[in-house]
Amino acid sequence: MSSTIRLPDILANWPCQLSINPHHEKVSMESHKWMEDYKVLPEHAQARFNRCDFPLLVALAYPDVCEEQLRIISDFHMWFFLFDEITDVKSGKTTGELSENVINTMRDPSNPLPRSVENPTFLEMSQDLWLRVYSFSVPKSAQDLFVYTKEYIEDVVTEAEDRDKKYVRNVANYFDIRRGTAAPMVIYFLGLLHVELPDEVLNHPSVQKLTELAGDLIAIHNDIYSYNIERVHGTHGHNLVTVVMKEKTLRVQAAVDYCAAMFHQISAEFLDRLGNLPKFTPEEEKALKIHCACILNWPVALDEWSFLSQRYFESERFQIRRTRTLNLAVQKEGWEYDTISPRVEV
């Protein structure tokens, strides 16, 4: 097996210009302070978390929202990725217990928090965040965000249960859960908090398929870039590269290239559908335009942030961006998915 991975430039011809929200610096400082004040993570883990610079991702992904909305979205991403950080080291059972409490807090953050629970400070964060979400948002958009965040959390529980069993899914079944754990509808509705996108528009077959394709692009892009660091932590069983390796009997580079080919195939259909959407009322068109701008911009924002932050490539990120090559990480002991047979699925 090769000791390096070559990253394909999957966004070479993507039709979207990168921009950044003008409120980024102020909101970034406020959002980091908001999270750090809760002291959920120990100091060394908090420092590592800060190097991921999630407020930068938000500022790139939502360049046109107002300062108040940007702050909510930034805090949401800090909370969202913190949940991911916490549950990555939990069993399916303990993830399920935390998730139930988080969902109850999201549903009605005005209720008193439960006592004598694990991760109580995270629930306090959840309460503060969701009170502000409901206060700022159009009611329907807030409710939609709750529904999709709940689905994401439930799929994270399933991911943790898979991890307990060292269970690698096939490609079709992987996308069934990855469309939840990648949380595309969550990140898209964060851009719609200030407007109402009617169900008649969102559930129109053309819009629904376009949004699904956009989410698949986010998942594939993320899995290609995150695969190496996930090998280090033993979480790469829930990664398309590993899934393709197991199903197609491929080595790492061939699996990465296969994923890139999937990205290009899906992106071609996505861009074609984006240019051929049906017409709606002027008010519906306004909300749909915001939605489409967001789903078109997200891959560019994700790509740029991946090389500016230390989330995936750490201190070597600039060199990796120049060369598109990185050293293949050693798999965490006991989590060598290359030697684990997938469960037979029917």
Q: Can you give the three-state secondary structure of 128-153, one letter per residue?
A: HHHHHHHHHCCHHHHHHHHHHHHHHH
> Considering the domain boundaries, does residue 14 fall inside one?
no
Q: Quick check: pTM over 0.85?
A: yes
| Cα of 328 vs its chain's centroid, Å | 23
Residue 108 CB: number of other CB atoms within 10 A?
Answer: 12
> Considering the domain boundaries, does residue 9 fall inside one?
no
Q: What pLDDT is stored for residue 119 in this prediction?
A: 85
Q: 326 φ, ψ to 5°?
A: -140, 155
> Considering the domain boundaries, does residue 50 fall inside one?
yes
Question: Which residue is it, tokens 């598109």?
Answer: 324
Q: Residue 43's domain is classified under what CATH number?
A: 1.10.600.10
Number of domain units in the chain = 1
Question: Token digits for 136?
Answer: 């700022």
Nearest 10 degrees: Cα torsion 122, 127, 133, 134:
160
Can you tell me the distance from the alpha carbon of 293 to that of 64, in angstroms, rounded to the nearest whole number? 10
Q: What pLDDT is stored for residue 345 in this prediction?
A: 36
- Whether 166 and 341 have beta carbons less than 8 Å apart is answered as no
- Whether 264 and 169 have beta carbons less than 8 Å apart is answered as no
> Considering the domain boundaries, does residue 7 fall inside one?
no
Q: What pLDDT is stored for residue 342 in this prediction?
A: 44
Nearest 10 degrees: Cα torsion 40, 42, 44, 48:
-20
Helix axes 92-107, 120-136, angle to 10 degrees: 40
Can you tell me the distance from the alpha carbon of 247 to that of 239, in angstroms, rounded to the nearest whole number? 12
Q: What pLDDT is stored for residue 80 in this prediction?
A: 94
Question: Token digits for 200?
Answer: 């008649």
Nearest to 219 by CA among 186, 179, 254: 179
User: Which amino acid would we find at residue 100?
Assistant: E
Question: Token digits for 176?
Answer: 């069934």
> Considering the domain boundaries, does residue 10 fall inside one?
no
> Considering the domain boundaries, does residue 15 fall inside one?
no
List 4's β-bridge partners, or say none: 327
Q: What does each C-alpha distance from 237 to 90, 153, 218, 223, 307 come to in angstroms?
A: 15, 18, 18, 11, 23
> Considering the domain boundaries, does residue 240 fall inside one?
yes
Residues near 108 by Cβ (< 8 Å), separated by ≥ 6? none
- Whether 201 and 275 have beta carbons less than 8 Å apart is answered as no
- Whether 133 and 142 have beta carbons less than 8 Å apart is answered as yes
Q: What pLDDT is stored for residue 338 in this prediction?
A: 54
The sign of the CA dihedral 89, 91, 92, 95 is: negative
Per-residue pLDDT of the chain (346 residues; tens, 9 = 90+): 579 999 999 998 899 999 999 999 999 999 999 999 999 999 999 999 999 999 999 999 999 999 999 999 999 999 999 998 888 777 888 888 999 999 999 999 999 999 878 889 999 999 999 999 999 999 999 999 999 999 999 998 898 888 888 899 999 999 999 999 999 999 999 999 999 999 999 999 999 999 999 999 999 999 999 999 999 888 899 999 999 999 999 999 999 999 999 999 999 999 999 999 999 999 999 999 999 999 999 999 999 999 999 999 999 999 999 999 999 988 877 766 654 444 433 2
Question: Token digits for 75?
Answer: 């805090």
Q: 235 φ, ψ to 5°?
A: -110, 10
What range defines the domain where residue 107 resides?
23-339
> Considering the domain boundaries, does residue 87 fall inside one?
yes
